[in-house]
Amino acid sequence: MPPFVIRSLRFTGRLLAAVAAAVALIALFLALIAATDGAGSGLVAWFAAVGVAVAGVAVATALRRGRRRSWRGRLVPFLPVLFAGALTLSVCIPTVPTTRHYPSALGFVKTEHWRLSTGSRVAVYHYPPTGSSPRQPVPLVYLNGGPVRGISVLDHHFLQLLAGQGYDVYTYEQAGGGRSDLLPMDQYSITRSVNDLGAFVDKLGKGRPDVLGFSSGAVVLTRALADPATAARLHRAVIAEPGPMDGPTARITGQKGRPSARGLAPAVSGPRSTHVPRYAVGFGLMRLGLLSPENGLIGQAEGDNAFTAADLGSDTASAYCARDAHRIPVEDTAENFSFSAAASLRIQQTIKDSPSLAPQLSRSRTPAMLMIAECSSQVRQWETTILADNPAIQRTQYMPGVGHHMWNGLDDNDQRAAAVITAFLQDKPAPLPDYPTRADIPAFLRDHK
């Protein structure tokens, strides 16, 4: 065999060995991160992984009679360890502040902070009635989605629209979201969210308000309707595009609505925390369930500071119909955006761990309406289960031409959503057919509506 071929084969073999060594060290590091739950910002796993790798290379070098080589030759096997060590070390180093940096104030609405009887300190926004419409006697409280996410500018604009129709609108960012104070990680739960709603209504002191809950906010509202003490504080409820309400519902893997823009819309522009090794590893392992929300790798405040709107990527696209894939509006500003991945996962886990809510919900008496989007990215059974279990749902409004985020500033979507909501709250005829009814559920699911 020609000498240059032999040299090429030797070089290729050494290169493959170096790559394999680096990959093995990275894999060991990730396994140790999961095993130690990110203790010490990941440094415990890093020192252990690098120590094992260095010892392994030293033994391998000795077995290959490394003493006959020059000192440079003896160092060559350590190069992949040095490379992988540097790469994994970057996972242990924060690149954003580790104390919470809250979003700056909005220019169009004042932010107040209320201390609730539960101990939560939440950011509150108030839109008094405006315009020429008659003032409505019952205040309206809005619960945004998330679960632990700031209220988007797009949502604020929709609340302004409702205020322009005579509603006295109040909303608050749930504990840990937006400008609200963080909680200790072990205090986040769906029960705490429901209790905070009751405490907010008490603090508001304006009698029994109407409540509009969207997405995970609709889950909080649904569970509030199943809790007699909280339900007694509410006048009417609008459940818009709810997620799973309990453990049995969360385990349903059924069909969704008409095609959404997921996979069709252009990539969201802007910086991504997941392009940084530390946050790509941390958020990725949390999403896979290999790191707990209260892990030692990334603290809650740091994670909140790091997460960006672009990180939501296809999740944002999934909230719009496929036909709108190339005109998805910017939902929020970089200055206002806030999302706590860890706290959200924690609350979602408490929902998954909860028993069936059906027995309690079947006793609900608070008048309610369910809103379902045509291109919903939610599992249909999450929505139809609430319809089937809650006898107090008086009407269902199937919203054509919109995705999960039904009020989105496109065309007349905001006005159509507002018309449906206000008609129910004022006990007026519905703008759309009452569909699906409980009797329609089997056909609704069979026809993949």
- Please state the rounded mean pLDDT for residues 126-132: 92
What's the confidence (pLDDT) of residue 255? 86
Percentage of the residues of the chain whose pLDDT score is greater than 90 = 76
Tell me the C-alpha distance between 194 and 177, whole Å: 15
pLDDT at 17: 64
Range among 129-133, 176-180, 268-272, 332-336 rated most confident: 176-180
Residue 432 is predicted with a pLDDT of: 98
> Given the DSSP bridges, would you call strands 210-214 and 169-173 parallel, antiparallel or unpaired?
unpaired
Provide the residue count of the chain: 449
Q: Which amino acid is at 176?
A: G
Contact 335, 104 (CB under 8 A): yes
Instruction: Please check the confidence at residue 67 and state whether its pLDDT lies above 70.
Output: no
Give the model's confidence band at 86: pLDDT under 50 very low, under 70 low, under 90 confident, else very high: confident
- Which position has the higher pLDDT, 56 or 398? 398
Domain borders along the chain are 3-90, 112-266+312-446
Cα–Cα distance measured from residue 345 to residue 249, given in angstroms and rounded to the nearest whole number? 17
pTM, whole model, 2 decimals? 0.91
Q: What DSSP assignment string belongs to 14-52?
A: HHHHHHHHHHHHHHHHHHHHHHHTTGGGGHHHHHHHHHH
Better pLDDT: 68 or 49? 49
CB within 8 Å of 148: residues ≥ 6 apart: 174, 175, 176, 177, 188, 339, 340, 343, 344, 347
pLDDT band at 18 (very low <50, low <70, confident <90, very high): low
DSSP 339: B
- Residue 66 is predicted with a pLDDT of 45
- What's the pLDDT at 268? 81
Examine the pLDDT at 150 and tell me if it is beyond 90: yes
- Distance separating alpha carbons of residues 213 and 141, to the nearest angstrom: 8
Number of H helices, E strands in the chain: 18, 8
The residues pairing with 171 across neighbouring beta strands, listed in sequence order, are 125, 142
Q: 216-225 and 341-352 helices cross at what angle (nearest 10)? A: 40
Residue 126 has pLDDT above 90, yes or no: yes
Residue 54: pLDDT band (50, 70, 90) is low
Q: Identify the weakest region by mean pLDDT among 41-45, 60-64, 312-316, 412-416.
A: 60-64
On the question of pLDDT at 178 being above 60, the answer is yes
162: tokens are 């409702």
Under 8 Å between Cβ of 398 and 375? no
Among 109, 139, 111, residue whose Cα is nearest residue 123: 111
Section 288-297 average pLDDT: 92
Structure tokens at 234: 């509410």
Q: Which residue has the tokens 């005829």?
A: 429
Give the bridge partners for 371, in sequence order. Answer: 240, 397
**Cα dihedral 21, 25, 26, 27 sign:** positive
The full DSSP string for 393-405 is: EEEEEEEEEEESS
For residue 273, CA distances in Å to 287, 306, 434 come to: 14, 6, 44
Question: Looking at the predicted structure, is the pLDDT value of residue 58 above 80?
Answer: no
Q: Name the architecture of domain 112-266+312-446.
A: 3-Layer(aba) Sandwich (3.40)
Average pLDDT over residues 132-150: 94
Q: Is the pLDDT of residue 171 over 90?
A: yes
DSSP state of 329: -
What does the pLDDT average to over 321-332? 94
What is the four-CA torsion angle of 84, 89, 91, 96, rounded to 10 degrees?
A: -140
Cα–Cα distance, 10 to 448 (Å, whole number): 59
Q: What is the pLDDT of residues 235-289, one digit of tens each?
A: 999 999 999 999 999 999 888 999 999 999 998 888 899 889 999 999 999 989 9
Per-state percent for the chain, helix, strand, coil, to nearest 5: 45, 10, 40
Q: What is the DSSP letter of 303?
A: H
DSSP string, 129-180: --SSSPPPSS-EEEE-SSSSBPPPHHHHHHHHHHHTTT--EEEEEPTTSTTS
pLDDT above 90: residue 14: no
pLDDT at position 375 is 95
**pLDDT for the residue numbered 357:** 96
Q: Which of 10-19, 72-81, 327-336 is the most confident on average?
A: 327-336
Strand order through the sheet with 237-240: 112-115, 121-127, 169-173, 140-143, 210-214, 237-240, 368-375, 393-403
